[in-house]
Structure 1
Amino acid sequence: MDLEVTDAVTPLWRASQAFRLITLVYAVSYQVASMGYYSNARLSWFFVALMAVWTGLSASLLSRTAMPRWKIVLADQLVVIGLMASTRLVADYDWYSTHQTLPTTLWATNAVISAAILFGPRGGVGSGVLLSVVSAVVRDQVDLDLWTDATAPVLLSVGLALGLASNTARRAHAELERAARLAAITEERERLARQVHDGVLQVLALVRRRGSEIGGVGAELADLAGEQEVALRMLISEQREPSRLDSDQVDLRSLLRLRGSTTVSVSAPPDPVLVDRIVAEEISAVVATALSNVEMHAGEGARAYVLLEDVDDEIIVSIRDDGRGIAPGRLAAAEAEGRMGVSKSILGRVAAIGGTALLETDVDAGTEWEIRVPKGKP
């Protein structure tokens, strides 16, 4: 077993071993009360001593997480079966056919509990069935009245209940570990985001501002710095969305609404727009790039409008602004100069997820992107 599963059920193992010691006390008291009816009382005490030794040894071994527990659990089944069979060596038919076997039903339950904790409900029920059959065979009670005896119902009920409890503990432990890992990842991302914001982003913003003031070559440098600033801000924004790691599908509305501001209006359907997580991330990044271009190039006072539509198996996202627009040939010239904001961050991303992007623009007429993407996985 791996460490995660072992840690999850460690409390159950400890509780079961405490129960094992308690049931030994009951078994010894049953031995004291019954030894007068045995045909071989001295031999019965030997088997009780063996029971006591195995109780202590198994409790010690099963409490150690590094031990291969399946071997101990298997040995547990064999020891219990052997002690049950020994009943015929210490008592006659009239006794063993109407009473519990030598180790008592309560002590034999420990083997069922161990199997249930280790293997879940199937293992617990399987062990319960096995020991119930052995008990019936030893006591010569294999008939239609088998279920009138409490042995089988007790063993099967314990096996099922403890098996379900062990599975629940494993699932809860896995969820807790996943939440802890997610919290650690989120904290580390926030720390890195703060460092980037306090250092690199501030430098890029300064270069963009001063370069625009200088003009000429400085303006080109300012544009490049601005593109890198947008890319870094977009990356930080994406990394601050850890909840998107928890599911294969994401409500795209929540991601786009994060882009809303005093100059950006976001409209979306009233119902969730669930898409594949990768598709949602790429669409969000495309919208972020388009809005950054509006902020940098559309002119002072320009407003942007984002519209999300859910049409059958297709997602349509429109990003429109009322800015100065783009002159004919300007995008091709920018790409030739090595500025990849549109060609890579928008067209490249949309193509990678199997979508299409259409741009409508003209001087003093604003711009409008229409992004169409299928809902399925890229």
Structure 2
Amino acid sequence: MTATGGGRRREHARSSAGTRIDPATPLWQGATVFRVLTFLFALGVQVAFSPGYAHPVLSWVLVGVMGAWTVVTGLGHTQGWGRTLAMVAADVGVVLALLALSRLALTTDQLASPDPLVTTIWAANPVVAAAVLAGPALGFGVGLVVAVATALVNGYVDTDISRDGVLLLCTGLVLGVAADTARRSHAQLERALRVQAAIAERDRLAREVHDSVLQVLAYIRRQGSELGGDAASLAAMAGEQEVALRAMVSAAPVDPTDDRQLPSIDLRTLLQAQASSTVSVSVPGTSVPLPGAVATELAAVTRTALSNVAVHAGVGAKAFVLLEDLGSEVVLSIRDDGCGIAEGRLEEAEREGRMGVARSIRGRVADLGGELVLETAPGEGTEWEVRVARPSTPRRSDETVMMSVRRWAHRRGR
């Protein structure tokens, strides 16, 4: 939290991506074993054929480079830092260079015969790495490059070279499909585990809420109805909250990362429903469709902010909600003209166990991958600004100008 001009302060909250486990790790480990085994095979070929090479010393140098590169790539693939496109590109470059130099090491008769090149089947390793990293398309492409390079180095194409080329292409395709399948299966498993955890947490909360809050609300509703007068109004409000709370704890949990669970929703509708005599809502003239999970979370953020205004902003405080659709992102602002928030009050509330801001506002925005900005100062009101990126058709320039005018008016309180 940093101080800004005019006694106001600005607070930013961004989501952070945690370290994710690569579901293709077993395939990378297998690729490392394959690389070692193919190098040992190439070493055996070198021992058997190098006495007849035109330049046996050069062939041994090439084998030494193969061994060193096997160690480097093996460490990179097993430890994770080598699972990049740059490493795959370097792998392809090393193999192509060794293939070309093999032409210098072998005699003309050996190149024209079925005798293997210095690299032998070790040349298939970049095909395996590309397929595991990026799927069948890149695996097939790298396999095609290595197959063509092998044919060019030999200077001819026969059944053996054609067979090896087909095997390279099939290796790239099959391993690429396996890697993609592993990642999709892992994502589906994570989604299922999230939903399962959400169901378990919902059931736990439902039991606690039923044993405490719901019983209190039911008691208030019943007693208020019996007393009548102002107590009856209080009873009606308690009854509404009881119904809403029961619906919330009994609803099936929604995975916020799976937009298929909720259809596209016009965010304007959810925000306009929160307008009242003390809450002014300003939205674009055209619909603002968002994935259902995103729209409902933004509406919940607005509802929490408005609830804080009603409770903490002071008597007579008014709130102003502004929604802007900038095409590439949606900007939601909730401002009030109340007493503002004192320095350190939010941190103190969080230490006291009040999680309205920490979880209902900050937590929701972080889960959406958005940016949250708070501007407040004692006696100068409070403004929350939420920015959530989404793919959309960019707005026309005249709409952008109108949005700027509306934002200026929103900040001026007009």
TM surpasses 0.5: yes
Q: For this structure pair, what is the TM-score category when the shorter chain's length is used for normalisation?
A: 0.5 to 0.7
- Alpha-carbon contact 2:99-2:119 (below 8 Å) kept: yes
Q: Pick from 193, 200, 215: which aligns with 2:206? A: 193
Give RMSD over aligned pairs. 3.1
Name the counterpart of 1:128.
143
Map Cα deviations across residues 258-291 of structure 1 (whole Å, 9 max, x no partner). Answer: xxxxxxxxxxxxxxxxxxx96xxx9xxxxxxxxx
Amino acid at match of 1:49: G
TM superposition shift of 1:184: 2.8
Report what 1:236 is aligned to: 249
Q: Structure 1-normalised TM-score?
A: 0.60
Q: Which has the larger radius of gyration?
A: 1
Normalised TM-score (structure 2): 0.55
CA distance in 1, matches of 2:83, 2:26: 17
Q: Deviation digits for residues 32-68 of structure 1, max 9, x if unmatched?
A: 1111221111221111111111111110112222446
Distance 1:68 1:244 in 2: 29
> What SS is found at the alignment partner of 2:199?
helix
Q: 1:39 to 1:157 in 2, by over 3 A?
A: same
Q: What pairs with 1:106-125 in structure 2 (closer than 5 Å)? A: 106-125=121-140
Residue equivalent to 2:152: 137
Name the stretch that deviates more: 205-214 or 109-118.
205-214
Find the residue that maps to 2:60 and give its secondary structure: helix
Q: Contact (CA 8 Å) 2:198, 2:253: kept in 1 or not?
A: no
Paired amino acid for 2:24: V
Shift of 1:234: 1.9
- 1:183 deviates by 2.5
1:164-212 CA distance string (max 9 Å, x none): 1111111111112222222233333333333322221110111122233
Q: Which position in structure 2 is the counterpart of 1:88?
A: 103
CA distance in 2 between counterparts of 1:182 and 1:69 reads 32
Asked if 1:101 is matched to 2:122, the reply is: no
Q: Return 5+ residue gaps in structure 1 as ranges.
A: 252-276, 283-378
> How many angstroms apart in 2 are the aligned matches of 1:249 and 1:83?
52
Q: Is the aligned partner of 1:16 residue 2:28?
A: no
Residues 175 and 43 (structure 1 numbering): CA distance in 2 closer, same or farther, change over 3 Å?
same
Q: AA paired with 1:189?
A: R
Three-state SS of the structure 2 residue aligned to 1:63 is helix
Q: Name which structure has the greater RCO, CA cutoff 8 Å, separation 6+.
A: 2
Residue type of the alignment partner of 1:29: G
Closer, same or farther: CA 243–36 of 1 in aligned 2, 3 Å: closer
Query: 2:235 maps to which residue?
Result: 222
> Kindly tell me: are residues 245 and 25 of structure 1, through their superposed partners in 2, closer, same or farther at Cα, counting changes over 3 Å?
closer
Cα distance in 2 between the residues matched to 1:223 and 1:177: 42
Matched, 1:30 2:45: yes
Partner of 1:47: 62
Match of 1:21, SS? helix
After superposition, residues 1-378 of structure 1 pair within 5 angstroms as: 7-67=22-82, 69-98=84-113, 99-104=115-120, 106-142=121-157, 145=158, 149-238=162-251, 240-242=252-254, 248=260
Identity of aligned residues (%): 42
Q: Distance in 1 between matches of 2:253 and 2:195?
A: 11
Q: Measure, in 1, the Cα distance between the counterparts of 2:109 and 2:133.
A: 37
Pairwise CA distance, 1:215: 4.0
Q: Distance in 1 between matches of 2:226 and 2:247?
A: 25
Is the alpha carbon distance of 1:111 and 1:236 closer, same or farther for their aligned partners in structure 2, counting shifts above 3 Å? same
